């Protein structure tokens, strides 16, 4: 093999290694995102159940002031027999939610 062939082989090897490494990183990050999304969805269900009274009707909105912001939940279905009782909405009038969690 000539010096040129060795260079092309090394470049090709490096490119394949970089590509494989990037693919593995994307897969790890995708798994982390999936776990985080599942945790957030479960936390939203628990929070909605806590905020909504058992007799809340579909479309009913309950609001709680938290610092300078308003946390709202809208009942999606009858709360007593729903897996996902409501949708949470954060209406910020001041500091961001993450600033309260420090």
Structural domain boundaries of the chain? 3-100
Work out whether the CA dihedral 18, 24, 27, 28 comes out positive or negative: negative
In this prediction, residue 55 carries a pLDDT of: 87
Instruction: Evaluate whether 58 touches 85 at the Cβ level (below 8 Å).
Output: no
Instruction: Evaluate whether 91 touches 72 at the Cβ level (below 8 Å).
Output: yes
pLDDT tens for each residue of 7-51: 678 999 999 999 999 999 999 999 999 999 999 999 999 999 999
As a 3-state breakdown, the chain gives helix, strand, coil percent values, each rounded to 5, of 55, 20, 25
Separation of alpha carbons 63 and 51, rounded Å: 8
Q: Is the model more confident about 3 or about 96?
A: 96
Rounded to the nearest integer, the mean pLDDT of the chain is 84
Q: pTM to 2 decimals?
A: 0.67
Place of tokens 């994307």: 26
pLDDT over 80 (residue 2): no
Confidence of residue 74 (pLDDT cuts 50, 70, 90): very high
């Amino acid at each position: 093999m000539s010096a040129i062939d060795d260079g092309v082989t090394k470049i090709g090897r490096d490119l394949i290694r970089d590509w494989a490494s990037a693919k593995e990183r994307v897969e790890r990050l995708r798994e982390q995102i999936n776990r985080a999304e599942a945790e957030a969805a479960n936390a939203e269900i628990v929070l909605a159940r806590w905020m909504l009274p058992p007799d809340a009707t579909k479309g009913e909105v309950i609001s709680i002031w938290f610092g300078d912001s308003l946390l709202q939940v809208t009942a999606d279905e009858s709360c007593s027999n729903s897996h996902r009782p409501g949708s949470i909405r954060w209406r910020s009038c001041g500091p961001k939610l993450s600033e309260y969690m420090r």
